[in-house]
Amino acid sequence: MTRRLHKHLSRLARVWIKDPVFYVTTCTRERRRILATDDVVSILRDNWERCFRLYGWAVGPYVVMPDHVHFFCWSAREAATLSEFVGKWKEWTSKRISQFLEIAGPIWQQEFFDHVLRSNESYAQKWDYMRENPVRAGLVARAEEWPYCGQVHDD
């Protein structure tokens, strides 16, 4: 018996974007609110730099929330897959954050969400969502007030 793709998935075989930019979201395990500190954000940034050197993945704008992270990324050279890059980044940050905060167990949920950006409009929509996330969460009155955001690499 041949398995048929759902009609809405059949288009996936035809989607091809040169040098795609991905929008990634990953959450802490059990949504622990442990990320939004200067020290933890420094660990996240350091490990994005490490992944760039070792795996060829660049990270552009990011927003770190207390229990999850949003960021844009792209492969800067032929290197690891997105899953390998995110997996290694989560492994390394988990070890360092666990040591720093003196907590046991995994830091991150196993899965992560990714979305391929298909246009400048999609990028702008995702950036607006990311930037306004601290405001929607009631953490600040204006997005510009949130200190745990930035950019690691230029586009």
CATH superfamily of 21-151: Transposase IS200-like (3.30.70.1290)
Which residue stretches of 1-151 are H helix?
A: 38-55, 82-101, 120-136
pLDDT at 10: 40
Parts of the chain with a pLDDT under 70: 1-17, 155
Output the six-digit token pair for 104. Answer: 């046991």
Of 90, 92, 39, give the one whose Cα is nearest residue 68: 90
pLDDT at 17: 65
pLDDT at 97: 96
Q: Report in angstroms the alpha-carbon separations of 48 from 111, 115, 141.
A: 18, 19, 28
Q: Give the dihedral sign, CA 85/86/91/97.
A: positive
pLDDT at 126: 92
* Domain regions of the chain by residue span: 21-151
How many Cα neighbours within 13 Å face the side chain of 97? Answer: 27
Helix and strand numbers, DSSP H then E, in the chain:
3, 5
Rounded distance, CA 91 to CA 85, Å?
Answer: 10
Of 108, 118, 113, 87, give the one whose Cα is nearest residue 18: 118
Burial string for 64-91 (b: 16+ CB within 10 Å, else e) reads bbbbbbbbbbbbeeeebebeebbbbbbe
